[in-house]
Amino acid sequence: MNLRQLEYFLAVAKTLSITGAAADLGVAQPTLTKSIHALEEELGVMLFDRLPRGVQLTEFGHSLLRHAETVNVQVQDAVNEIAWLRGGAVGTVSIGAGPAWLRRHLPVSLARTVTRNPGIQARVVGGYDDILLRALRRGELDFVVAELPSPELSQDLLIERLTSDELGPCCRQGHPLAGLEQPEPAELLEFPWIVPPPSTRSQRRLRALFIAVDLPPPRIVVETESMALILNMLRDSDALSFLGSMSVQWSEAEGLRMLKVPRISAVREAGIISRKDGWLSPAAVAIIEELRTVCAVAPKN
């Protein structure tokens, strides 16, 4: 098994098409097919099931994919580190950022860093924790600033806590529950909810809080990755959402408030997440150092 075979395997696993992968790689289809066959013969297993249209990964293919992606990321880290050692090339720092970080802390950290280091270039990708962590593990991001994953899901990652915030039910100022000093958890179930996707830690935690007080999960009517959509729908309806206390202080959240509901709240810890064995360029380190400075002054986000 060699790196070229793994490259070809990853291309087919990504497109689930020999023809499509050959086009992406710029190689002849027979060459790609021969490489995949040779790899299967070496391992003694079928990596793909051949279908009338395209292919699909077998159990063995899924296993190899997990390891091949790790190898691919490590090779790219090595290439980047050697490029830096050879000529000091900065390159582009790719950063994944959760919704709160796109509005606070990251903008000022980037502004200060690029002002002092004009050669630095940054690419920022917004999203929720689950999507960002997948991209980080694939090597598409250098580091992520977002809610910290649970320990059992982050054994391959380096975690640095920088901020914390309280999560709780949020609504518009004129909502029927807004006039109550302390609504009961059951009263929240009378209204529809707008939340992030089910794969996010935010929605999983919300469901768990209701189950912990012997209540069914809330009735979710909209799932979205757009914080702007959540805030605007809250403002224009009686729907509820589960947001951080700092979120309702944004200018976009004008007219919204957080409810104080017994046992339907949680503390969200957030910070820097990177690959445990990954390499961070001096440019990435400079941005991270500025993030630490900013968060030390404002530890809520």
The one-letter amino acid code at 74 reads: Q
Residue 232: pLDDT above 70?
Answer: yes
Q: Look at residue 74 in the predicted model and tell me its pLDDT.
A: 78
Q: How many residues does the chain have?
A: 301
Give me 296's structure tokens: 């030390």
pLDDT at 84: 65
Instruction: Provide the pLDDT for residue 193.
Output: 98
CB 257 within 8 A of CB 178: yes
What's the number of CA atoms in the CB half-sphere (13 Å) around residue 236? 6
CB 124 within 8 A of CB 106: yes
- Among 149-153, 208-212, 228-232, whose mean pLDDT is lowest? 149-153
Checking if the pLDDT of 220 tops 70, the result is: yes
The yes-or-no verdict on residue 35 having pLDDT over 60 is yes
Provide the pLDDT for residue 215: 97
Most confident of 13-17, 47-51, 235-239, 280-284: 235-239
Specify the fold of 3-80: Arc Repressor Mutant, subunit A (1.10.10)
φ/ψ of 15, rounded to 5, equals -90, -20
Confidence of residue 78 (pLDDT cuts 50, 70, 90): confident
**Rounded (10°) angle between helices 18-25 and 3-15:** 120
The pLDDT tens digits of the residues spanning 156-212 come to 899 999 999 999 999 999 999 999 999 999 999 999 999 999 989 999 999 999 999
- Average pLDDT score over the chain: 91
pLDDT of residue 158: 95
CB 288 within 8 A of CB 280: yes
Task: Please determine whether the domains at 3-80 and 165-268 fall in the same fold group of CATH.
Answer: no
CATH of 85-163+269-297, one of 3.40.190.10, 3.90.950.10, 3.40.50.720, 3.50.50.60: 3.40.190.10
**What pLDDT sits at residue 79?**
73
Listed by start position, the domains of the chain span 3-80, 85-163+269-297, 165-268
Q: What is the pLDDT of residues 239-249, one digit of tens each?
A: 999 999 999 99
Question: Between these two residues, 127 and 80, which has the higher pLDDT value?
Answer: 127
Rounded Cα distance, 148 and 6, in Å: 31
Q: Measuring CA to CA, which residue among 105, 98, 90 is closest to residue 133?
A: 98
Please report the pLDDT score of residue 103 as a whole number.
93
Give domain 165-268's CATH number out of 3.10.20.30, 3.30.390.30, 3.40.50.1970, 3.40.190.290. 3.40.190.290
The 3-state secondary structure of the chain, one letter per residue: CCHHHHHHHHHHHHHCCHHHHHHHHCCCHHHHHHHHHHHHHHHCCCCEEECCCCEEECHHHHHHHHHHHHHHHHHHHHHHHHHHHHHCCCCEEEEEECHHHHHCCHHHHHHHHHHHCCCCEEEEEECCHHHHHHHHHCCCCCEEEEECCCHHHCCCEEEEEEEEEEEEEEEECCCCCCCCCCCCHHHHCCCCEEECCCCCHHHHHHHHHHHHCCCCCCCEEEECCCHHHHHHHHHCCCCEEEEECCHHHCHHHCCEEECCCCCCCEEEEEEEEEECCCCCCHHHHHHHHHHHHHHHHCCEC
**pLDDT exceeds 60 at position 89:** no
CA distance 243 to 8: 43
Q: How many CB atoms lie within 10 A of CB 55?
A: 19
